[in-house]
Amino acid sequence: MKQKYIGRFAPSPTGPLHMGSLVAAMASYLDAKAHEGLWLLRMEDLDFDRNVKGADQHIIQSLQRSGMLWDGDINWQSKRQHLYEAALQKLGDNLYPCACSRKEIADSRLRLGETASQIYPGTCRHGLAEGKAARAWRLRVPDQIYRFEDRLAGMQQQNLATEVGDFVLKRADGFWAYQLAVVVDDAAQGITHVVRGADLIDSTARQIYLQELLGLPTPAYLHVPVVTNADGEKLSKQTGALAFDQGDNDILHDALMPAASFLGLQLSTGIGSKEEFWGMATLAWKNKLDNTKK
């Protein structure tokens, strides 16, 4: 009997899908198809300042035009905030209020001589200073190395205390942090396999730690390289990335074939339809995975 496989694609509706997001969507879709599994769609729309009206609909249409059809209902994180609140309550003493502003954190780093460090200096770890009000909720991290096997990149490890520091789960503006929402939703949706861009590999140890605290299962992880522009920056709306779906362009040749090529999939240039493309690309993805296994 085949093992159950549930994967997902989880875009943020901050703009249309560009080549970089297409590559991540394609990798997770192909992995689900190669495992004869389910592929779910989740809108990570918790950054209410950055959400763009109509971007979710554009994303949905672009996936449909590409022939990437999801299973079940679409999940919107903005409608699931009660679940994040419940998870936060469960974390108990692992959580503490932090009163620091960005500037205060930067200043105390300077005092400690840690100019380059992004690590929170722990100012509020043992209680708020008198007269200070809580702005955000932070999670205490252990001085411990977390390891996980990335299905593509191999063994990864990170010490949460020395490389990350206590991190925010609920921001000063009331917004939920990505780390908490993604862990809660992956578990609630029964996700067994996470396939996403390598820009998120660095956050995986934090998510495994949260899964451990909340008693949730850890899925398998695979991170694919991110697409960069000519300046070496990750493609995003901020770096001027264009939508891969212009409404009337040739999706197969303009977008799907180049994205597959970026993923290192060797496909015949004679492919004539999207149906043929997805069949061949799924086989090529299987081969790639077989060749990765030592």
Q: Does 100 bind Zn ion (CB under 5 A)?
A: yes
Torsion, Cα 229 231 233 238, to 10 degrees, reads -80
Is position 277 annotated in a ligand binding site?
no
Between residues 95 and 191, which has the closer beta carbon with respect to Zn ion? Answer: 95
Half-sphere exposure of 114 (CA within 13 A, CB side): 14
Between residues 52 and 172, which has the closer beta carbon with respect to Zn ion? Answer: 172
Between residues 121 and 219, which has the closer beta carbon with respect to Zn ion? Answer: 121
- Candidates 28-36, 71-79, 93-101, 206-214: pick the segment binding Zn ion (CB under 5 A): 93-101
Between residues 78 and 123, which has the closer beta carbon with respect to Zn ion? Answer: 123
Q: How far from the centroid of its chain's Cα atoms is residue 15's Cα?
A: 16
Q: Which of 134, 106, 99, 132 is nearest to 120 (CA)?
A: 106
Q: Write down the least CB distance from residue 102 to Zn ion, Å.
A: 11
Question: What sign does the CA torsion over 170, 173, 178, 182 have?
Answer: positive
- Candidates 51-59, 99-107, 150-158, 161-169: pick the segment binding Zn ion (CB under 5 A): 99-107
Alpha helices in the chain (DSSP H): 19-34, 55-66, 81-90, 102-111, 178-188, 204-214, 251, 257-262, 274-292
Q: Does 156 bind Zn ion (CB under 5 A)?
A: no
Q: What mask of x and - would describe binding to Zn ion in positions 113 to 142, judged by CB under 5 A?
A: ----------xx------------------
Sheet strands side by side (includes 145-150): 154-159, 145-150, 220-224, 193-197
Separation between Cα atoms, residue 152 and residue 53, nearest integer Å: 35
Is position 100 annotated in a ligand binding site?
yes
Q: Does 98 bind Zn ion (CB under 5 A)?
A: yes
- Candidates 66-74, 83-91, 94-102, 170-178: pick the segment binding Zn ion (CB under 5 A): 94-102
Is position 124 annotated in a ligand binding site?
yes
End-to-end CA separation in angstroms for the chain: 24
Between residues 43 and 119, which has the closer beta carbon with respect to Zn ion? Answer: 119
Q: Which residues bind Zn ion (CB under 5 A)?
A: 98, 100, 123-124
* Binding-site residue ranges: 8-12, 44, 98, 100, 120, 124, 178, 196, 237
* Binding-site residue ranges for ATP: 237
